Amino acid sequence: MEKLIITAAISGAEVTKEHNPAVPYTVEECVREAKSAYDAGASIIHLHVRHDDGTPTQDRERFRVVIEAIKKVCPDVIILPSTGGAVGMTDDERLQPTELNPEMASLDCGTLNFGGDEVFMNTETTIKNFGQRMIDRNIKPELEVFDKSMIEMAIRLGKKGFIKSPMHFNMVMGVNGGIGGDLRDFSFMRHSLPADATYCVTGVGRYAFTLAMLAIIDGGHVRVGFEDNIYLSRGVLAKSNGEMVEKVVRLAKEFGREIATPAEARQMLGLA
């Protein structure tokens, strides 16, 4: 079985210090959390950025500053910036980090009801535009799918030339408005992917480590981090993103999976 790629989603756009004091806002805090995850075994840092007061932003310059600061301490790590941004941002706002030509970027493949009046909008036109932007800039998209219909959307737009194959999916499971995080749901999503695709799984909240274990056993890859979950175990707040990565590494060792370095992850994802 190939080595395990671990992604650390170090902050997100919704979770705050009120949820967990270790959630990073400032450049220095983002560097601290990225390094903790990298040192523990993460090859990829999925990056949202904030202003120092915690307000989410897609500002290109803020991304540039944070990425350069992370690269100083983790020079070979893969940075995967978000183009999801936060609810209510325009497409042009969300696309700003692609102007920095990262190796990878997220590409959300459908609209989702996050709860209350919050709707995360991704029209077919948006997905096409984002996909074409990434093709034009030679950025590999990580296809964020929250339900099977989003996998179908990605496959259909791939056939139309807006997403290149082989595709790399992130199955985000257990989020409000999306598919659940049980074994049945994992199997349904996993077996809906194209045969030549790679994937990681993101378990939201209480699903974080059970889904990580399923992905490890199945030969897939894993994302953990404060964007998706703030607890190391039931009722125990994680002290860092690194603590969560360390837990995934321990699970991987139990099932005989070695951990991929950034260089190995690049080869496996077709970036090198």
Identify the CATH homologous superfamily for domain 6-269: Aldolase class I (3.20.20.70)
CA dist 133 and 242 (Å) reads 32
pLDDT for 25-35, tens place per residue? 999 999 999 99
Per-residue pLDDT, averaged over 248-270, amounts to 98
167: DSSP letter? P
pTM metric for this prediction: 0.97
Two structure tokens written together for 258: 């070695």
Could you tell me what percent of the chain has a pLDDT over 70? 100
Cα gap 49→27, rounded to integer Å? 8
Mean pLDDT of 54-74: 98
Average pLDDT over residues 186-214: 98
Average confidence score pLDDT of the chain: 97
Is it the case that residue 88 has pLDDT exceeding 90? Answer: no
For residue 91, pLDDT over 90 is answered with: yes
Distance CA 101, CA 98 (A): 5
Whether residue 85 is predicted with pLDDT greater than 90 in this model: the reply is no
The predicted-structure confidence for 161-184, as pLDDT tens digits, reads as follows 999 999 999 999 999 999 999 999
Check pLDDT > 90 for residue 203. yes
Which one-letter amino acid corresponds to residue 83? Answer: T
Give the mean model confidence (pLDDT) for residues 230-239: 97
Radius of gyration (C-alpha) of the chain in whole angstroms:
17
144 phi/psi in degrees, rounded to 5: -85, 115
d(CA 35, CA 50): 18
